[in-house]
Chains A and B, each alone.
Chain A
Protein backbone atom coordinates (compact mmCIF):
# COMPACT_ATOMS: atom_id res chain seq x y z
CA UNK A 1 0.00 0.00 0.00
CA UNK A 2 1.31 3.46 -0.86
CA UNK A 3 2.25 5.73 1.98
CA UNK A 4 1.22 9.33 2.44
CA UNK A 5 1.79 11.26 -0.76
CA UNK A 6 2.62 14.95 -0.81
CA UNK A 7 3.12 17.34 -3.66
CA UNK A 8 5.06 19.23 -4.64
CA UNK A 9 8.25 18.05 -2.89
CA UNK A 10 9.84 21.45 -3.33
CA UNK A 11 8.26 24.84 -3.86
CA UNK A 12 10.01 28.15 -4.38
CA UNK A 13 7.84 31.21 -4.63
CA UNK A 14 7.98 34.94 -4.16
CA UNK A 15 6.55 36.83 -1.26
CA UNK A 16 2.90 37.63 -1.76
CA UNK A 17 2.15 34.66 -3.97
CA UNK A 18 -0.41 31.99 -3.12
CA UNK A 19 0.96 28.57 -2.26
CA UNK A 20 -1.02 25.34 -2.22
CA UNK A 21 0.36 22.14 -0.73
CA UNK A 22 -1.37 18.84 -1.40
CA UNK A 23 -1.68 15.59 0.48
CA UNK A 24 -3.13 12.17 -0.18
CA UNK A 25 -3.42 10.16 3.05
CA UNK A 26 -3.08 6.42 3.38
CA UNK A 27 -6.26 4.73 2.21
CA UNK A 28 -8.55 3.87 5.12
CA UNK A 29 -7.02 6.34 7.55
CA UNK A 30 -9.55 8.60 9.22
CA UNK A 31 -7.18 11.19 10.69
CA UNK A 32 -5.08 13.68 8.75
CA UNK A 33 -2.53 16.07 10.23
CA UNK A 34 -0.58 19.02 8.86
CA UNK A 35 2.74 19.79 10.58
CA UNK A 36 5.33 22.47 9.96
CA UNK A 37 9.01 21.89 10.74
CA UNK A 38 11.56 24.64 11.28
CA UNK A 39 14.90 24.74 13.04
CA UNK A 40 13.62 27.22 15.58
CA UNK A 41 10.26 25.65 16.46
CA UNK A 42 10.68 21.99 15.57
CA UNK A 43 7.60 20.04 14.49
CA UNK A 44 4.45 22.06 15.06
CA UNK A 45 0.96 20.67 14.64
CA UNK A 46 -0.98 23.13 12.51
CA UNK A 47 -4.35 21.45 12.09
CA UNK A 48 -5.88 18.01 12.07
CA UNK A 49 -8.98 16.44 10.58
CA UNK A 50 -11.09 13.46 11.58
CA UNK A 51 -13.33 11.98 8.90
CA UNK A 52 -12.68 15.07 6.76
CA UNK A 53 -13.84 17.47 9.49
CA UNK A 54 -11.34 19.95 11.00
CA UNK A 55 -11.05 19.16 14.71
CA UNK A 56 -8.40 21.57 15.95
CA UNK A 57 -6.85 24.40 13.99
CA UNK A 58 -5.37 26.24 16.95
CA UNK A 59 -1.89 25.67 15.56
CA UNK A 60 -2.55 27.55 12.35
CA UNK A 61 -0.32 30.60 12.69
CA UNK A 62 -2.62 33.21 11.17
CA UNK A 63 -5.45 33.86 8.79
CA UNK A 64 -3.14 33.59 5.82
CA UNK A 65 -3.16 29.82 6.38
CA UNK A 66 -6.15 27.66 5.52
CA UNK A 67 -6.65 23.92 5.15
CA UNK A 68 -9.38 21.85 3.56
CA UNK A 69 -10.22 18.21 3.24
CA UNK A 70 -12.95 17.85 0.61
CA UNK A 71 -12.87 14.05 0.73
CA UNK A 72 -11.16 11.16 2.49
CA UNK A 73 -8.32 10.97 -0.02
CA UNK A 74 -7.26 14.58 -0.43
CA UNK A 75 -6.30 17.61 1.62
CA UNK A 76 -4.76 20.98 0.87
CA UNK A 77 -2.89 23.54 2.91
CA UNK A 78 -2.99 27.00 1.41
CA UNK A 79 -0.97 30.08 2.28
CA UNK A 80 -2.17 33.36 0.85
CA UNK A 81 -0.29 35.65 0.72
CA UNK A 82 2.98 33.90 1.47
CA UNK A 83 5.78 35.54 3.44
CA UNK A 84 9.49 34.65 3.84
CA UNK A 85 8.88 33.51 7.44
CA UNK A 86 6.61 30.78 6.08
CA UNK A 87 9.67 29.03 4.67
CA UNK A 88 9.75 25.59 6.26
CA UNK A 89 9.13 21.93 5.57
CA UNK A 90 5.44 21.07 5.70
CA UNK A 91 4.47 17.50 6.51
CA UNK A 92 1.19 15.75 6.09
CA UNK A 93 0.54 12.67 8.20
CA UNK A 94 -2.38 10.29 8.51
CA UNK A 95 -3.48 7.75 11.05
CA UNK A 96 -6.23 5.31 11.80
CA UNK A 97 -8.17 5.19 15.02
CA UNK A 98 -8.05 1.44 14.56
CA UNK A 99 -4.26 1.28 14.99
CA UNK A 100 -3.99 3.39 18.13
CA UNK A 101 -3.68 6.52 16.09
CA UNK A 102 0.00 6.32 15.20
CA UNK A 103 0.70 8.98 12.55
CA UNK A 104 2.44 7.99 9.34
CA UNK A 105 4.25 10.84 7.65
CA UNK A 106 4.63 11.86 4.05
CA UNK A 107 7.98 12.95 2.62
CA UNK A 108 7.21 16.63 3.16
CA UNK A 109 7.13 19.75 1.01
CA UNK A 110 10.07 22.10 1.37
CA UNK A 111 8.73 25.62 0.90
CA UNK A 112 10.99 28.58 0.25
CA UNK A 113 9.44 32.03 0.06
CA UNK A 114 11.80 34.64 -1.36
Chain B
Protein backbone atom coordinates (compact mmCIF):
# COMPACT_ATOMS: atom_id res chain seq x y z
CA UNK B 1 0.00 0.00 0.00
CA UNK B 2 0.81 3.66 -0.09
CA UNK B 3 3.51 4.81 2.30
CA UNK B 4 4.35 8.30 3.36
CA UNK B 5 7.90 9.22 4.27
CA UNK B 6 8.45 11.37 7.31
CA UNK B 7 11.61 13.11 8.37
CA UNK B 8 13.38 13.25 10.60
CA UNK B 9 12.79 9.78 12.00
CA UNK B 10 13.60 11.01 15.51
CA UNK B 11 14.44 14.24 17.25
CA UNK B 12 16.00 15.08 20.60
CA UNK B 13 15.57 18.72 21.54
CA UNK B 14 15.82 20.99 24.54
CA UNK B 15 12.67 22.32 26.13
CA UNK B 16 11.79 25.67 24.61
CA UNK B 17 13.19 24.92 21.18
CA UNK B 18 11.09 24.94 18.02
CA UNK B 19 10.52 21.73 16.06
CA UNK B 20 9.98 21.15 12.36
CA UNK B 21 9.10 17.91 10.63
CA UNK B 22 7.79 17.00 7.22
CA UNK B 23 6.00 14.33 5.28
CA UNK B 24 6.30 13.47 1.59
CA UNK B 25 4.44 11.21 -0.77
CA UNK B 26 4.84 10.07 -4.34
CA UNK B 27 1.07 10.50 -4.82
CA UNK B 28 -1.12 13.55 -4.67
CA UNK B 29 -3.17 13.89 -1.49
CA UNK B 30 -6.36 15.88 -1.15
CA UNK B 31 -6.26 15.90 2.64
CA UNK B 32 -3.40 15.92 5.11
CA UNK B 33 -3.83 14.98 8.75
CA UNK B 34 -1.34 15.21 11.58
CA UNK B 35 -1.64 12.92 14.60
CA UNK B 36 0.25 12.53 17.87
CA UNK B 37 0.62 9.20 19.65
CA UNK B 38 1.48 9.02 23.33
CA UNK B 39 3.03 5.80 24.67
CA UNK B 40 0.44 3.07 25.10
CA UNK B 41 -2.30 5.06 23.42
CA UNK B 42 -3.86 5.42 20.02
CA UNK B 43 -3.02 8.34 17.71
CA UNK B 44 -4.94 11.55 18.37
CA UNK B 45 -5.75 14.03 15.62
CA UNK B 46 -3.96 17.38 15.95
CA UNK B 47 -4.57 19.24 12.72
CA UNK B 48 -6.43 18.64 9.45
CA UNK B 49 -5.59 20.35 6.14
CA UNK B 50 -7.84 20.33 3.08
CA UNK B 51 -6.42 22.78 0.53
CA UNK B 52 -3.04 23.14 -1.18
CA UNK B 53 -1.12 25.97 0.45
CA UNK B 54 -3.36 25.96 3.53
CA UNK B 55 -1.67 26.98 6.79
CA UNK B 56 -3.48 25.98 9.99
CA UNK B 57 -2.58 26.47 13.64
CA UNK B 58 -3.64 24.70 16.81
CA UNK B 59 -2.02 26.41 19.77
CA UNK B 60 1.73 26.05 19.45
CA UNK B 61 1.32 23.74 16.45
CA UNK B 62 1.25 24.95 12.85
CA UNK B 63 0.84 22.73 9.81
CA UNK B 64 0.96 23.47 6.10
CA UNK B 65 -0.46 21.65 3.08
CA UNK B 66 2.29 21.74 0.43
CA UNK B 67 1.61 23.46 -2.89
CA UNK B 68 2.48 20.32 -4.86
CA UNK B 69 -0.07 18.38 -2.73
CA UNK B 70 2.63 15.75 -2.20
CA UNK B 71 3.98 17.09 1.07
CA UNK B 72 3.06 18.62 4.37
CA UNK B 73 4.90 20.24 7.25
CA UNK B 74 4.35 20.43 11.01
CA UNK B 75 6.00 22.95 13.29
CA UNK B 76 5.88 23.05 17.08
CA UNK B 77 6.98 26.25 18.75
CA UNK B 78 8.48 26.54 22.22
CA UNK B 79 8.42 22.80 22.93
CA UNK B 80 7.47 21.50 26.37
CA UNK B 81 7.97 18.05 27.95
CA UNK B 82 4.41 16.93 27.19
CA UNK B 83 5.13 17.28 23.45
CA UNK B 84 7.00 13.99 23.71
CA UNK B 85 5.52 11.31 21.48
CA UNK B 86 5.36 10.07 17.93
CA UNK B 87 3.93 12.35 15.28
CA UNK B 88 2.29 10.88 12.20
CA UNK B 89 1.09 12.41 8.99
CA UNK B 90 -1.77 10.74 7.17
CA UNK B 91 -4.02 11.18 4.22
CA UNK B 92 -6.07 9.54 1.50
CA UNK B 93 -4.59 9.31 -1.95
CA UNK B 94 -6.56 11.00 -4.69
CA UNK B 95 -9.57 8.93 -5.59
CA UNK B 96 -9.47 6.65 -2.57
CA UNK B 97 -11.86 8.69 -0.50
CA UNK B 98 -11.65 7.62 3.12
CA UNK B 99 -8.75 5.17 2.78
CA UNK B 100 -6.15 6.80 5.00
CA UNK B 101 -2.47 5.89 4.87
CA UNK B 102 -0.01 6.82 7.60
CA UNK B 103 3.54 8.07 7.56
CA UNK B 104 6.49 6.35 9.16
CA UNK B 105 6.37 8.69 12.14
CA UNK B 106 8.71 11.17 13.82
CA UNK B 107 9.63 10.37 17.40
CA UNK B 108 10.10 13.50 19.49
CA UNK B 109 11.98 13.63 22.78
CA UNK B 110 12.03 16.88 24.73
CA UNK B 111 14.79 17.25 27.29
CA UNK B 112 13.76 19.41 30.25
Residues of A within 8 A of B (CB): 4, 31, 33, 35, 42-45, 48, 50, 55-56, 58-59, 91, 93, 95, 97, 100-108
Taking a contact as CB atoms closer than 8 A, the residue among B45, B92, B104 that contacts A104 in the complex is B45
Given A45-B1, A59-B1, A100-B50, A105 contacting B100 (CB threshold 8 A): no
How far in angstroms is the closest Cβ of chain B from A1?
Answer: 15
Q: Are A107 and B105 in contact (CB under 8 A)?
A: no
Q: Are A103 and B100 in contact (CB under 8 A)?
A: yes
Contact size class for B? 20 to 34
How far in angstroms is the closest Cβ of chain B from A92?
Answer: 9
The interface residues of chain A, by DSSP majority, are classed as: strand
Does B48 interact with chain A (Cβ within 8 Å)?
yes
Residues of chain A within 8 A of B33, CB atoms compared = 102-103
With CB as the reference atom, state the residue of chain B lying closest to A95.
B98
A34 vs B90: C-alpha distance when bound (angstroms): 15
A55 vs B97: C-alpha distance when bound (angstroms): 11
Q: Are B98 and A101 in contact (CB under 8 A)?
A: yes
Residues of chain A within 8 A of B101, CB atoms compared = 45
How far in angstroms is the closest Cβ of chain A from B43?
Answer: 5
Among B31, B88, B102, B105, residue most surrounded by chain A Cβ atoms (within 10 Å): B102
With CB as the reference atom, state the residue of chain A lying closest to B6.
A42
How far in angstroms is the closest Cβ of chain B from A5?
Answer: 11
Residues of chain B within 8 A of A101, CB atoms compared = 31, 92, 97-98, 100
> Contact string, B24-38, partner A, CB cutoff 8 A, digits 1/0?
000000010101000
Residues of chain B within 8 A of A35, CB atoms compared = 102
Within 8 A of A (CB), among B81-105: 88, 90, 92, 97-105
A-B contact pairs, 28 of them (CB 8 A): A4-B42, A35-B102, A42-B103, A43-B43, A43-B102, A43-B105, A44-B1, A45-B1, A45-B99, A45-B100, A45-B101, A45-B102, A48-B98, A58-B1, A91-B42, A91-B43, A93-B42, A100-B48, A101-B31, A101-B92, A102-B45, A102-B48, A103-B33, A103-B100, A105-B35, A106-B42, A108-B41, A108-B42
